[in-house]
Structure 1
Amino acid sequence: MVFAMFLGAGNLIFPPMVGQLAGEDMWYAAGGFLLTGVGLPLLGIVAISRVGGCFNEISGEMPKSLMIALGSCIYLIIGPLYAVPRTALVSYEVGLLPFLPEPSEFTQLIFSLVFFSISWYLSIKPGKLLESVGKLITPALIALLVILGLSPIISPLGIPGPAMGTYTEAPFIKGFLEGYMTMDALAALMFGIVIITNLKSHGIKEKSSLFHYSITTGIIAAIGLALVYISLFYLGATSREIAPDPGNGGQVLTIYAETLFGTTGTALLAAVVTLACLTTAIGCITASSEYFDEMFERVNYKTIVTTISIICIFFANMGLNEIIDLFIPVLLILYPISIALIFLGLIRDWLPRPILTYRATLTIIFILSIIDVLRIKEYAGLQPVLQIFSVIPGYEVHMVWLLPSLAVLFATVLLGLFSRPESNCQTP
């Protein structure tokens, strides 16, 4: 179930392009990609499971108002405002559009209605996702992925060539950054509550058992994701002869599947992408609904699922590029904060003054992420000011926050170790 929820369309599209551009250096790029595309989400599951699957617990050192605001933003972006509508858009463009003689806005609307009606139906009973997604949809998805993944190994359509572009200099770093952009760290913070809910519905109640089975679940999902990625890296690396100048990894996949299997290949890819997008949509809708269900006690869970599904239909009928342009700035702020929450959650028990460390580290990340957003917007009047920050490593690759946040983290830890502990005694 968790494997299927993580495996969205973006996870299928990134690796083929990485493989094609990295060529003979594919394994270096794959190592970097797997570190952030698989390792980071796994750490996210570990961190969120330690606190019982609740986002508000992993961010508990923040002021309550900011904690709620941050949680709401993450669940809205990965839920109804961005990630979930994108699953329907990608499913429509890859899964249905190639088979329509005359596509129109009406056919897109009908598709999104059907897509989110299925998602709504399978999300209204969150404790039953193991049966609906884990036992019904995932086996079909895995079977299709095995066919697609083994095909380039059994019957390759080319050989890897020399690395191209930025992959010629630092393939590992480039792969690392591509994996970072999958946004699965955000998903890991969301899906913790879904995992815990399903484990509890199947009789697992003790905190230690919930943590143990959550980690086991995360490892299984991580292994599945890694195998899919590796096969798609190789598919991309051997695709240059048939797809010499693709615009994105989706085109690589489409051309490869059609060349190898003809019309059947197009249908195979359509089924893989649609099922992958559907399971991700179900997971995100469920996680978002459970979060807001806990926040708004007077509104029942089914009403929240229905509301989110309707919002998804609205945004799914916008253009894909319009949605991406609208929310990329928000993601550039939320994603670094989410990565920091994961690592802080893992080391929380060893922090001498966790409140100080959390608040100082997250503050510097927030400020530098704002600067990153202003940089890509290219506001002319701000350029002289922003150039001051260009000396920080990572400025050009959206990671200007990394080294300063580590410095603040270590500084607060040292301050906590050497400062006098606060007294718990009260003056009578």
Structure 2
Amino acid sequence: MNKLSTKQFWMVGLMLFSLFFGAGNLIFPPMVGKMSGTSMYSSMLFFSITAVVLPVLGVIAVAKSKGLINMGKKVSPWFATLFTIIIYLSMGPLMGIPRAGTVPFEIGIAPNLPEGFASRSALFVFTLLFFSTTYWLCLNPMKMAERVGKYLSPILLVMMVLLFICSLINPMGSPIQPQAEYASNPYISGFIEGYMTMDAMGALNFGLVIAMVIHSFHIKEERAVIHSTIKTGVLAGVLLFGIYMMLAHLGATSISLYPQTTNGAQILNAASKHLFGSFGAILVAGIFMLACLTTCIGLTTSSAQYFATWTKKFSYKSWVRIWIICSLLLANVGLDAILNYSGPILTALYPVAIVMILLVIADSLFNGEQAVYKITVYTTGIVSILNGLSELGIQIPLITKAIEKLPLYSLQLSWVIPAIVAFTVGCIYIKAKKTRLITSVVEDKS
């Protein structure tokens, strides 16, 4: 068999959707909707460029390269190993998994605990149950499509659609004029918010999982695996876009009743309580729980699978246990602490991930020349690392000041212009090199 059946296609597509759809994906769109108001559609369109299109391109890039490690080898072998390990560790047990285990507690449970209740003890009990469930669901990765795509994802989608339909039947209000930065530029503001989801890094992790699941359906031909990955990636993107628009609508219509809300979690809590009363708190807790659980499953499976293949000293199940224990310990440090140390790391990593994705997609434009990859990726990496160090309060005389003067610095996009310049220089270099080579050959013949 060289292609997925219709049922398998939907299972894998739904699974990929839910792997992407974590807590950040729930929080950002309602706030974009609230702040953009009557400009919601244009803001969300640009939001989707960085929050939907880029992650889908990430899945396609990993599929085209036949794995993240091969993707990194387009730069150099040492970069491939280092980049892959850092991506899997940062999006896995060091940041991504602990954060996914903590967020549903902080947003869905902690606000509803009785006053004076020992929240630290409650966090430990919750994360113990959460990661025990994650561990069980990760033990057999071949059943991942069925457990996540067939059961958990549809339940999550039904909850989200139920919330949206009820907001149409019992509207909270109407969108108002755009607020703050959305009043002057709703397009760029939406684009930046989508960038902040950082889902492109998740795409690099999940590419391995998707390929593994597709292989489990007895599709062995590489071209068929790549084709199926691209198709399911597009389906996941369409589902993400649809849910994002629903969440943005909730935010846009909530502002007249709840103008004091300052983030997407507060908007969802307020809207659900308005629509469902006391049941609303349970609904929102369930949505955050499922969204974070499915993301956690994907991150644990992908990182454990990679390290089991790379080291060959421990089995896949052993790595799952190691990552779950590490994540449980880090999750109980608390969400604020995780966010504090993860911010600078993501600042340094994310631009490199984006540039790698775009270079692989555009590979044919420069014939996949390694020089272009090296110049562009290394330039982006240097600027991004300096930005990450700056977030940690580490200042390098003259260099830090120079970085701060780069265009788009205030938008956390100071790497964009250097990356474009480096790419252009790389293309000019290989063209000049080929011209010299052709000239040399002609002269030798004459």
Q: Judge same fold: TM > 0.5, yes or no.
A: yes
Whole-angstrom distance in 2 between the partners of 1:283 and 1:150: 29
- Specify the alignment match of 2:274 in structure 1: 259
AA in 2 matched with 1:395: Y
Whole-angstrom distance in 1 between the partners of 2:437 and 2:332: 55
Per-residue deviation, 1:290: 1.0
Q: Which of 163, 174, 185 does residue 159 from structure 1 map onto? A: 174
- Specify the alignment match of 1:211 in structure 2: 226
Whole-angstrom distance in 1 between the partners of 2:405 and 2:95: 33
Per-residue deviation, 1:85: 0.9
Verify the 8 A CA contact 1:242 1:255 in the aligned structure 2. no
Whole-angstrom distance in 2 between the partners of 1:383 and 1:250: 40
Q: Secondary structure at the match of 1:419?
A: helix
- Specify the alignment match of 1:294 in structure 2: 309
Whole-angstrom distance in 2 between the partners of 1:377 and 1:193: 32
- Specify the alignment match of 1:36 in structure 2: 50
Instruction: Say whether 1:406 aligns with 2:420.
Output: yes
Deviates more, 1:414-423 or 1:301-310: 414-423
- Specify the alignment match of 1:244 in structure 2: 259
Instruction: Say whether 1:178 aligns with 2:193.
Output: yes
Whole-angstrom distance in 1 between the partners of 2:191 and 2:147: 34
- Specify the alignment match of 1:341 in structure 2: 356
Per-residue deviation, 1:254: 0.4
* Deviations, residues 53-81 of structure 1 (Å, cap 9, x unaligned): x1101111233233211111111111111
Whole-angstrom distance in 1 between the partners of 2:383 and 2:303: 27
- Specify the alignment match of 2:8 in structure 1: none
Question: Percent identity between the aligned chains?
Answer: 35
- Specify the alignment match of 1:360 in structure 2: 375
Instruction: Say whether 1:73 aligns with 2:86.
Output: yes
Q: Secondary structure at the match of 2:73?
A: coil
* Deviations, residues 139-198 of structure 1 (Å, cap 9, x unaligned): 111111110122223322011111111111111101101101101000001101000000
Verify the 8 A CA contact 2:72 2:81 in the aligned structure 1. no
Verify the 8 A CA contact 2:71 2:80 in the aligned structure 1. no
Q: Secondary structure at the match of 1:238?
A: helix
Instruction: Say whether 1:387 aligns with 2:389.
Output: no
Instruction: Say whether 1:312 aligns with 2:327.
Output: yes
Verify the 8 A CA contact 1:8 1:276 in the aligned structure 2. yes
Q: Which of 59, 72, 78 does residue 72 from structure 2 map onto? A: 59
Moved over 4 A (4+): 381-385
CA RMSD of aligned residues (A): 1.8
- Specify the alignment match of 1:426 in structure 2: none
Whole-angstrom distance in 1 between the partners of 2:168 and 2:70: 45
Q: Secondary structure at the match of 1:40?
A: helix
Whole-angstrom distance in 2 between the partners of 1:3 and 1:159: 29
* Deviations, residues 214-235 of structure 1 (Å, cap 9, x unaligned): 1111011111110110011111
AA in 1 matched with 2:332: N
AA in 2 matched with 1:43: L
- Specify the alignment match of 2:154 in structure 1: 139
Q: Unaligned regions of 5+ residues in structure 1, if any?
A: 424-428
* Deviations, residues 389-428 of structure 1 (Å, cap 9, x unaligned): 34422111111111111111122112212313879xxxxx
Per-residue deviation, 1:384: 5.3
Per-residue deviation, 1:98: 4.1
Per-residue deviation, 1:375: 3.8
Per-residue deviation, 1:378: 4.9
Instruction: Say whether 1:227 aligns with 2:227.
Output: no
Verify the 8 A CA contact 1:32 1:173 in the aligned structure 2. yes
Q: Unaligned regions of 5+ residues in structure 2, if any?
A: 1-14, 439-446
- Specify the alignment match of 2:3 in structure 1: none
Per-residue deviation, 1:103: 4.0
- Specify the alignment match of 2:108 in structure 1: 95
Verify the 8 A CA contact 2:24 2:197 in the aligned structure 1. yes
What is the TM-score with the length of structure 2 in the denominator?
Answer: 0.91
Per-residue deviation, 1:377: 4.3
Q: Secondary structure at the match of 2:254?
A: coil
Instruction: Say whether 1:106 aligns with 2:114.
Output: no
AA in 1 matched with 2:134: S
Per-residue deviation, 1:373: 2.5
Per-residue deviation, 1:359: 1.0
Instruction: Say whether 1:327 aligns with 2:342.
Output: yes
Verify the 8 A CA contact 1:352 1:413 in the aligned structure 2. no
Aligned length: 422
Verify the 8 A CA contact 2:43 2:191 in the aligned structure 1. yes
* Deviations, residues 200-243 of structure 1 (Å, cap 9, x unaligned): 01111111110111111101111111011001111101111222
Verify the 8 A CA contact 2:59 2:233 in the aligned structure 1. yes
Per-residue deviation, 1:382: 4.5
Deviates more, 1:362-371 or 1:333-342: 362-371
What is the TM-score with the length of structure 1 in the denominator?
Answer: 0.95
